Chains A and B, each alone.
Chain A
């Protein structure tokens, strides 16, 4: 049985530990790809936020970028007005 969208959102609101997408999918008995789609729905609705490496490196300075690692993509509750998918590459001024 596919979990409801609310059940997915509830995880973010009530659970106390971080999980990988695969682990959460296993916990909710759902295919990871479908779970990602449901999370994507909440991201579009502005309830969740996607933060991650997607935007890092897009400034064109990746070759000399001092960051030792790119960040994996994460999803979290959007509790303020930080734009989704925000990057922080210091050289891009973002």
Chain B
């Protein structure tokens, strides 16, 4: 028993404002230390109530008193051993359901208590109204007060309630369990009564309840000295469990929850928006069983319009700056250093600037993609997307959880493969990792943008959307085949998902997300892509005849690059892109998908710099003026394209023909900025073979890093299956598109 001043303890769940209330009660009269032998912080303070000196102890926040954690043990031991005169049970008034389980457990300890309904202002704002009197009646008459610790509201009432509790006028709280359980408690409590040393420490009813619940902490503490008592508890518990048909511990917990449910019904009313939240209203449409999927697809369509078309003016602008002024400046500098026309100039302009610059051009595309994803993620929609697609996955016999790694695959295949660790069965992990490679990662997007913009103009977004859909379809078909032919088994158990409320995305969060991902992209451009660009340039400069006198003087077809590509090229002829250059581009894509764009720039746009250099002499001032002017143009065109998403989306509906904004002619701007690369590509590809090429890029072997991740996660054999399967599917897909297109008269020329 505590001597000297009275001690009161604050107990409650974490984040209920317990410490704020403690501060409000004790002011600056605080001492902070650790609980004996523990690293858990112990806060103690002093206050006075009616001239009485009171010690206030802030117990660690816990969810129960089941002794599962250090905090729970500290809180329980303090209440039992230190015997505070009063316990203030602090609950979050807006979330009473989540706090009453612990409150019940504390009240069952039979220590005088006060219930503080803290943060009651927040509860009122959310339309949650509590009836303290009804609550008090349900909890055995303990004083119940509403408080707002942060503003010191309700402190006087709380102090008055503490005094009432100190007077000991209320009866100990006894939750009424099932009659059979009550009989068991009574029998065991009677036996406990025979041990006065136990009843001196523990309330007999509480100890009986804990022993019947088989509380590990209490049982371990008493097992050695009181084996007969523990044995009796086990026998009683077993008899009750056999009669009632379940474990006694579960039955007791269950009756606590039933009790909490009845307390909530009797003392809590919800008004206004608290009945159905705005998020729930939105979810009735967005996660609707039938409409949810078409709405998801429509939203994705808008995302790809946004990504491909809105970013296009800035892609052209960066392209213009890199292939124009920057290349000219580099050439001028190298000429000034006496290296003009040498292999060094070729390496810098045709190799490094064309390769790395060709990739950096797509920063706007990825910025807009990640902006769209960040907005969807921050708003809370992404969680819904996973939820909606779970149903589709199940229809196809796949595990619902597989969608989440697949969703991640739209960003990058590598983390998608690691994300399969959340799946419990190895076969699900392997299968999902296998399918994740068909989700079109961010690195593939620039390739689509190049071909879609060049061959389909304003309809580029449609092709890109179709490619993303194709990836999903191929993944689902593959999954369905594998699940039904290779991995037959029981359907997976469902899950319950906690959908976060919708909220307005914050600018800082969105910008942080974009910055992080773009930084990574730029980092890759200056490491992997730079290295690959140099290697590709070297292969294109080295003559296949090994005659070093022809170094950097040979055509692509006579270079090592041409020789290697020429071996693979015939295999792609049925798909409409059997040129060695195209084959070489695809071979380079094994390393990383971004390399494809770098290689395309080097092969098809390699002479642009030279031409720009020789045909358009200009001063530094001219260049800077041009950069600023074209930036302004790009900004206007971006706004125009953003506005045009609306009419373009609406015009998909039959009978709708809304006009599009046309401040500046987009085609003229594009033509001005497009260089020899576009001309070379239109000569090398037809619209049909371009589509076949992008289909191949979508489906074929993921990058080297993804294959490494696959080897680490699933083994070499599985990785090799992946290489062979994806290459085969990509080839079949590209050939089917090209040959099918020819059959339909879509033309190869």
- Asked if A and B are interacting partners, one says yes
Q: Which residues of A contact B (CB under 8 A)?
A: 1-2, 4-6, 11-13, 15-22, 24, 30-31, 33-34, 36-41, 44-45, 51-52, 62-77, 79-80, 82, 86, 88-90
Closest chain B CB from A31 CB (angstroms): 5
- Check A74 against B373 for contact (C-beta < 8 Å): no
For residues 476 through 530 of chain B, which have their beta carbon under 8 Å from a beta carbon of chain A?
A: 491, 493-500, 512, 515-517, 519-520
CB–CB B497/A73 < 8 A: yes
Interface pair B408/A69, CB less than 8 Å apart: yes
On whether the beta carbons of B254 and A74 are closer than 8 Å, the reply is no
B95 engages A33 (CB within 8 Å): yes
Given A44-B68, A52-B498, A68-B373, decide whether A22 and B280 contact each other with a Cβ distance below 8 A. yes
CA distance A21 to B526 in the complex (A): 46
The answer, yes or no, to whether B151 is at the interface (CB within 8 Å) is no
Task: Please give, as numbers and ranges, the residues of chain A lying within 8 Å of B520 by CB-CB distance.
Answer: 64, 66
With contacts A21-B496, A77-B493 taken as known, whether A63 is within 8 angstroms of B419 at the C-beta atoms is no
Q: How far is the CA of A21 from the CA of B500 in the complex (A)?
A: 10
Find residues 359-418 in chain B having any chain A CB closer than 8 Å to their own CB.
370, 373, 377, 382-383, 386-387, 390-391, 394, 400-401, 404, 407-408, 410-412, 414-415, 418
Report yes or no: A6 in contact with B254, Cβ–Cβ below 8 A.
yes
Check if B424 is an interface residue, CB within 8 A of chain A.
yes
Closest beta carbon of chain A to B562's beta carbon, Å: 35
Is B98 engaged at the interface, CB distance under 8 Å to the other chain?
A: yes
Name the distance in Å between A44's Cβ and chain B's nearest Cβ: 6
Interface residues on B, range: 35 or more
- With A17-B394, A82-B424 given, is the CB distance from A70 to B498 under 8 Å? no
B418 engages A5 (CB within 8 Å) = no
Measured between C-beta atoms, what is the minimum distance from B274 to chain A in Å?
Answer: 11
Known: A2-B260, A21-B499, A67-B411. A44 touches B66 (CB 8 A): yes
Contact B494 A19 (CB under 8 A): yes
Whole-angstrom CA separation of A45 from B254 in the bound complex: 13
Cross-chain contact A6 with B261 (CB below 8 angstroms): no
How far apart are A36's CB and chain B's nearest CB, in angstroms?
A: 7
Inter-chain CA distance A16–B344, complex, in Å, is: 65
Determine the distance from Cα of A21 to Cα of B499 in the docked complex, in whole angstroms.
7
A21 nearest in chain B by CB position: B498
Query: Whole-angstrom distance between the alpha carbons of A73 and B404 in the complex?
Result: 12
Q: Which of A2, A13, A64 has most B Cβ within 10 Å? A: A2
Distance of A17 from chain B, by nearest CB (Å): 5
Question: Which residues of chain B come closer than 8 Å to A73, judged between CB atoms?
Answer: 497-498
Q: Chain B 56-73 against A: per-residue CB contact (8 Å), 1 yes, 0 no?
A: 000000011010100000
Say yes or no: B418 contacts A74, CB within 8 Å: no
Residues of A contacting B382 with CB < 8 Å? 69-70
B187 in the interface, Cβ–Cβ < 8 Å? no
CB neighbors of A among B69-127 (8 A): 95, 97-98, 101
**Contact partner of A22 among B254, B390, B421, B499, CB < 8 A?**
B499
Chain B CB within 10 Å, residue with most, of A16, A38, A88:
A88
Question: Interface of B with A (CB < 8 Å)?
Answer: 63-64, 66, 68, 95, 97-98, 101, 246, 250, 253-254, 257-258, 260-262, 264, 280, 283, 287, 370, 373, 377, 382-383, 386-387, 390-391, 394, 400-401, 404, 407-408, 410-412, 414-415, 418-419, 421-422, 424, 491, 493-500, 512, 515-517, 519-520, 709
Supply 13 further A-B pairs (C-beta < 8 A) apart from A12-B494, A44-B68, A72-B387: A6-B250, A16-B394, A16-B494, A17-B390, A22-B280, A22-B283, A34-B261, A62-B516, A64-B519, A71-B404, A73-B498, A79-B493, A89-B418
User: How far in angstroms is the closest Cβ of chain B from A66?
Assistant: 5
Rounded to whole Å, the gap between the CB of A2 and the closest CB of chain B is 3
Instruction: Say yes or no: A20-B499 contact (C-beta < 8 A), given A2-B257, A66-B517, A79-B493.
Output: yes
> Inside 8 A of B63's CB, which chain A residues have their CB?
40
Structural contact, A34 and B495, CB atoms closer than 8 A: no
**B390 / chain A contacts, CB cutoff of 8 Å:** 17-18
Shortest Cβ distance from B388 into A: residue: A18
Given A64-B519, A82-B424, verify A72-B411 contact (CB < 8 Å).
no
Partner of B493, one of A2, A30, A40, A76: A76
B497: which A residues are within 8 A, CB to CB?
18-21, 72-74
> A residues within 8 A CB of B257?
2, 4-5, 34, 37-38, 41
User: When the two chains form the complex, which single residue of A18, A52, A70 contacts B391, counting CB atoms closer than 8 Å?
Assistant: A18
5 A-B pairs whose Cβ atoms sit less than 8 Å apart in the complex: A5-B257, A12-B495, A20-B499, A66-B517, A69-B411
Chain B's closest residue to A47 (CB) is B250
**Contact at A36–B98, with CB atoms within 8 Å?**
yes
Residues A63 and B516 in contact, CB atoms below 8 Å apart: yes
Bound-state Cα–Cα, A64 to B524, Å: 13
| Chain B nearest Cβ from A71, distance in angstroms | 5
CB atoms of A18 and B280 under 8 A apart: no
Question: Given A37-B257, A79-B424, does the pair A68, B494 have CB atoms closer than 8 Å?
Answer: no
With A and B bound together, what is the CA distance between A34 and B263 in angstroms? 12
Q: Contact check: which of A1, A15, A37 meets B101 at CB < 8 Å?
A: A37
> A residues within 8 A CB of B419?
67, 88
Which residues from A are CB-within-8-Å of B264?
A: 31, 34
Q: Are B498 and A4 in contact (CB under 8 A)?
A: no
Cα–Cα, bound, A75→B400 (Å): 13
B491 touches A16 (CB 8 A): yes
Q: How far is the CA of A62 from the CA of B101 in the complex (A)?
A: 35
Residues of A within 8 A of B98 (CB): 33-34, 36-37
When the two chains form the complex, which single residue of A65, A75, A76 contacts B516, counting CB atoms closer than 8 Å?
A65
Q: Is the CB of A20 within 8 A of B387?
A: yes
| Residues in A whose Cβ lies below 8 Å from that of B250 | 5-6, 45
How far apart are the CA atoms of A13 and B262 in the complex, in Å? 26
Residue numbers in A under 8 Å from B370 (CB-CB): 68
Given known contacts A5-B250, A64-B516, A79-B424, is B498 in contact with A13 (CB within 8 Å)? no
Alpha-carbon separation in the docked complex, A71 to B500 (Å): 11
B515 with A67: CB separation less than 8 A:
no
Report the minimal beta-carbon distance from A59 to chain B, rounded to whole angstroms. 12
Closest to B377 in A: A69
A53, B493: Cα distance in complex, Å: 20
Residue on B nearest A94 in the bound complex, by CB: B421
A75-B408 CB under 8 A given contacts A6-B250, A41-B253, A90-B418: no
Are B422 and A88 in contact, CB atoms less than 8 angstroms apart?
yes
